[in-house]
Structure formats: structure tokens, C-alpha cells
Amino acid sequence: MSRESVVISGAGPNGLLLACELALAGVRPVVLDRLPGPSDEPKANGLVGQVIRHLDMRGLYHVLGGEEGPPRPVYGWPFAGMALSFLELDDNPMHALLITQPLLVRLLEKHARGLGVDIRWGHELIDLEAHADSVSVTVAAEGQTYGLRAGYLVGADGGRSMVRKRLGVDFLGHTSPIVSRIAHVGLPDEWLVPGQGYDIPEFGRLKFGYNRFERGSIIVFPLEPERPLLGTTEYGQTVDDADDAMTLDELWASVRRIIGVDVPLQTPKAAGPHALRRLENINSRQAERYRVGRVLLLGDAAHVHSPMGGPGLNLGLQDAVNLGWKLAAVVNGRHSDDLLDTYESERYPVGKRVMMHSQAQLALAAPGPDVDALRTLFGELAEHRVVVEHLAHLLAGSDVRYDVGDGHPLSGRMVPELVLDDGRRVAELLHRGRAVLLDLSGGAAAAAAAAWADRVDAAVTTMTPPPAAALLIRPDGYVAWAADRVDDTAADALRVALARWFGAG
């Protein structure tokens, strides 16, 4: 039985990004996945919010298709299908990146392999046994089984996580009787109104984006030429043969029930793969615990939500960035095991908050006159800038503030998008996945942190005007300590923060 530092069950985006984070810190995990290779099944179609900044901090934003330069904010986003405008916000936190999940997985896999990660497709984790000093796992591959002994195991194996079930961790929440269907489709060319939607005979305009009706809702996204993505959502519905694969005829029938007319849905003209998915029942659930000894849960294994607002994948990727540097510090002997407790204490409340707003959006999207009244009221509230600002930060995840034990206004928050006097962006300083001490005091902070030079990069530089005299930035981009002047008291507080997050100097 071979011994590995870390085994990750699940080679989806969350597991692969965690593997990349670990590898940057010198820990090369083994990643197992039951599938024979990356899935071509389209799921998520983009990334939104703070995760874009995380990717930028690793130099991955452009690798994944982001435009040149720093990520630019988008000037609007839907809440329960209602358009919010961020044009008047001074500090717009919402970023977005269009990328299909299959492409995201392929690019992250390539990046991970380049960092030396061992990815084993077709190798399924089928059992585990936790010990005081390790975790034993049993893996099935090619008709045989073999064992691995890991220092730590991370379950990134989805909403039906075997790891979570084997641990006996409750998945708390509820299930809503809702059926969603989605597919790439072909529609008559003569119906297309460029930039607006489709004019359907005997019905009218089905606009691009979200369309809410008395019997449900329909979304239409022209993400790629000649194969628009069309989806329906019906509330209070069930499926007679849930185990049967979905068909275009089933989606056609759903569209007819919602708008009352026939819409001929064809296979797209463009080459596949084509989405053809049904989601019966929408789960809003969160694992009771994210950590049990040497086993941790990540992404959908820890939380599942309504897709309203696009929280799921973005939340999981941020989990990975939070966990990666902490797990590496423990494996490398830089920090005690209790650092891993902060993964749950920081990320659990964030997951709970995302569950709240995704459930709220699901409720506001339901058909019916009572919800009509709520949407009207919500629309009136959204005319106020303070409400829009609150919702923008909620949806982006930029309202997160961790308890880092420091009272400076910047501490516990993601570092602002700073540009130094020499033209460098702070995001560039974090490309190596190491902590950064941004010293704008002339060197006093760097001198106080000299004992941590092997794990914290000190950048003595200038910025006009400075946001603070010095900032200690964790590898995940969150500020662990900041001070407006670096005197003896501040230097002592800096050393306390360094020891707390990065081990003894």
C-alpha cells in the first residue's frame, strides 16, 4: 500500500483547482475519479464573482479565456431573473468569465499535470477508513482494487459524495419539487431576432435570458453560434420515469406546457457535445461538518444549492483556494493540524449565506400572483442604490469577512484590486501561491517579518495613496493583518499574525 500526502476523490473543477493549489506549495496529491476521462456533458457555463479574482491571483484568468488586462466588472446581473444594473456603483464587485465546465476541467487538468499532479481517470474510491495518523482508501480500477494510505483525504466527489456518506456526515436541508430541463437546441433561423431573442408564431417574443410565465420559466442563452441553450423550470412537478434519459421530445412537451404553443426543437446544426439534462428536485443542502479528522469535504460534497444566481461552482472553487494553502502548510510541517479547523469556520458560514440567497431567488422565480406581488416590491427596492450595492456584494461574495483576529478595516476581507506605483498589480504578487507582505512603510514591516522569509514574500514598494502602511495577504488573497503605521506595537501584532497563519518563525 503506497503512502501519499493527500488523496483527492473527484477530478472536477474543485478537485483539480485544489490539486493545483497544493502543487504550487510543493505537495503533489493523487487525484482519483471514477469516470474514464473528463466529461463532455455541459453543466455550468461560466464563472462569476470573487472566484474570478482568485483565478487572476494565480495567473489563470487569461489561461481560462479571460480578456487581456485585469478582470473587468460586468455592469449587471440577474437576481431571480430580474435584471440588476451596477452602472452607478463606485465599487462594482461583480466579474464574470464565460467558459463551459468541460473546457474548464480540461484546462485545469492540463495546468495540474504541468505542476506534477498525478490524475488517475477510471480509478474510483470505493471505501475509506480513517486512522489517527492517516486515512486508508480502497480504489477500484480496471476490474481490480488496490489500496492507498494518505495523510489527508479530500472528498470533492459531488453532491452524492461517497466520502461524506462513508463518514456519516449529515447533509442538512430540504428538497424542492421542481423539475428543470436544459438542452442545446436548433430553432428556425427565421425566428431569430439578433441580440434579442426568438419571435415564435402564435406566441410572441421569447427573449434571450430569463422568461417567467404563469406555469413556469424558460431560459434562452445564445452562448455559441447555431446551438442556443434552452431550459425550462416547472414548479411542483415530478417525472414518471426519472431514470430514463431526457429527450428533446420531453423538453418540447415542457415548453408547450409553459407557453401553450408548439416550438419545434431540433438537434443543433453546430457540432456537439450537446447538453441534454434533466434535474428533478432542487436540493438546498449543506454538510453538517466540512472536516472529520483527516478527511475534508469540498465543493458539492459540502454544499448543493439551486443554480439560481450561479453559486455552486464558484463557491466550490473558492473553497479550494481557502483549503489549499492551509492543507499544504500542515503537510509540509509548517503549521499544526488545527489550522485546518479554519477551513470549516471560514467557509461554512459562506456556504450557508449562498444557500440563503439561492433559495430566495428560487422562491422569487416561482409562478403565481403572490410571487408577482413580491417581485413588484423587489423591483421597487432595487431602484435604490444601497439595495443594489448590497445585492451586488452578496452575489459576488465580496461581502465575506473572515475573523482573522485583527481589527483593521481591511483585515479579514479580500485585498482590494491595488495597483502599485511601479505598475504591478497586487494580484501578480500572488501568482506563486505564497503569502505576501505588502510593505508600503519603507521596510519596517519586512524587517519585523524576516523570520518568515522562507514562506512569506515581502514586497517593499510604494503606492499613491497607500491603503495602509502594510498588509499581510494570505495566499487566498484575504488580508490577515494591516496597519496604518508600523511602530513597535504594530510590528508585534504582525508577528502574532504571521505565527497564527504561517507557523512559528
Query: Which residue from 105, 98, 96, 97 is spatially nearest to 41, judged by alpha carbons?
Result: 105
Residue 426 lies in a domain: yes
Residue 182 lies in a domain: yes
Q: How confident is the model at residue 323 (pLDDT cuts 50, 70, 90)?
A: very high
Identify whether residues 146 and 11 lie together within a single domain: yes
Domain-terminating residue out of 264, 283, 302: 283
Buried b (16+ CB within 10 A) or exposed e, 145-178: eeebbbbbbbbbbbbebbbbebbebebeeeeeeb
Identify whether residues 66 and 158 lie together within a single domain: yes
Identify whether residues 455 and 323 lie together within a single domain: no
The pLDDT tens digits for 454-480 are 999 999 999 999 999 999 999 999 999
Identify whether residues 140 and 209 lie together within a single domain: no
Identify whether residues 442 and 384 lie together within a single domain: no
pLDDT at 310 over 70: no
pTM of this structure: 0.95
How far apart are the C-alpha atoms of 66 and 68, rounded to whole Å? 7
Torsion over CA: 336, 14, 2, 138 (sign): positive
Domain housing 218: 173-283
Strand order in the sheet with 456-460: 456-460, 435-439, 470-473, 479-483
The pLDDT tens digits for 253-296 are 999 999 999 999 998 887 777 778 898 888 999 999 999 999 99
Domain count for the chain? 3
For position 1, what pLDDT does the model report? 61
For position 503, what pLDDT does the model report? 97
Identify whether residues 313 and 448 lie together within a single domain: no
Identify whether residues 335 and 439 lie together within a single domain: no
Mean pLDDT (the chain, rounded): 94
Give the DSSP H or E segment for 322: helix 312-331
Half-sphere exposure at residue 501, Cβ-oriented, CA atoms within 13 angstroms: 32
Please state at what angle helix 341-364 crosses helix 312-331, rounded to 10 degrees.
180
For position 309, what pLDDT does the model report? 66
